[in-house]
Amino acid sequence: MMNILNSLLSLISWYFRPLVKWFLNKTTRLCELQRICYGEKAGAPRDLGVENSLLLSRSPDIKNMVAFLDRLSDGRKLSGPNQENVIQYAVHTVLRVKKINPKFHPQFGKSFAKCIEHIWGYRQLIQEVELLRTTQYDADNEDHEAKLMMLWNLLMPSVKLEARVTKQWQDIGFQGDDPKTDFRGMGMLGLENLIYFAQEYPGPASHVLSHSHHPQYGYAYSIVGINLTSMAYHMLKDGSAKTHVYNVSKQMPSMKIFHQFYCYLFYEFDRFWIEAKPRNVMDFSYIKEKFENRIRISLANPNSAFRINISIDNI
């Protein structure tokens, strides 16, 4: 029943939308995109409004523009010198279609350009993350092996690894003697995230690793890290992470933004896990689900922007 009602409301909205836009245009002398860029706060509130407006546009030129931007970002070609040219093309297309005089509305072009950068930068970021996720760990690849060794050295700088295949890997939370099998689900993305956390946030990473060794509340550090990579990946793919990414991105969203989002999830999950006082590791799925629900609720707030809040405890 609710699905039928939602579909009916969407249909009514679709038919009346042009009339509402026409009325507001006549009364404010501004098109919808101008009203959004002038009236909404920079970041997610503005970006999401512009994104929705462009997707619902009935203008053939704007539809073609959106399709063109989709193709470029899906092909990871929205970068370098091409980036500025493409963004300016989008701005000029909207100025022409909406008959906006840039001399009278100089701020609109700048605000709209930033929205384009965020919206299609996010779409391109999904492709970059997907490429890493589908790149499987290869023990015959010297670069992959070097990164695995780097992870060990970052987390266990004072302990020498006795062999490539050894039970020592379990000390940093891998399941068996050879970590390569644990990267199957998230590929190189899982390893890159683990390295980024240990390299860019050595204090917090060491803090979390020490919690994973707790005699009562301990867990498999790297396995949990890879699970949280999966969580971050799905939130990026389904669009839940847009509010955070749009709010923290000063320029085009990059892999750095995704890595930092993951680091926040790992650090906060560790805190959530300890506070939950699990009976054993069998509680992982239940606690992870509760944690993910909390994060998704936070991301539903258009002002969401996550940052690691470092605090030291004695657990």
Q: Smallest Cα–Cα separation from 171: which of 226, 113, 221, 101? A: 221
**Residue 79, C-beta contacts closer than 8 angstroms, at least 6 positions apart:** 124, 252
Per-residue confidence in pLDDT tens, the chain, 315 aa: 555 655 555 545 545 556 445 444 545 568 999 999 999 999 999 999 999 999 999 999 999 999 999 999 999 999 888 899 999 999 999 999 999 998 888 899 999 999 999 999 999 999 999 999 999 999 999 999 999 999 999 999 999 999 999 999 999 999 999 999 999 999 999 999 999 999 999 999 999 999 999 999 999 999 999 999 999 999 999 999 999 999 999 999 999 999 999 999 999 999 999 999 998 888 999 999 999 999 999 999 999 999 887 654 444
Give dist(CA 26, CA 313) in Å, integer. 59
Q: Please report, for residues 15, 25, 71, 90, the alpha-carbon distance to residue 97 in angstroms, rounded to integers and kept in the order given.
A: 21, 14, 21, 11
Nearest residue to 252 via CA among 94, 115, 62, 129: 115
The radius of gyration of the chain from alpha carbons, rounded to an integer in Å, stands at: 23
Q: pLDDT at position 309, please? A: 75
Residue 74 near residue 123, CB atoms below 8 Å: yes
Asked if 95 and 113 count as a contact pair (C-beta separation under 8 A), the reply is no
What spatial distance separates the first Cα and last Cα of the chain, rounded to whole Å? Answer: 50
Model pLDDT, residue 30: 84
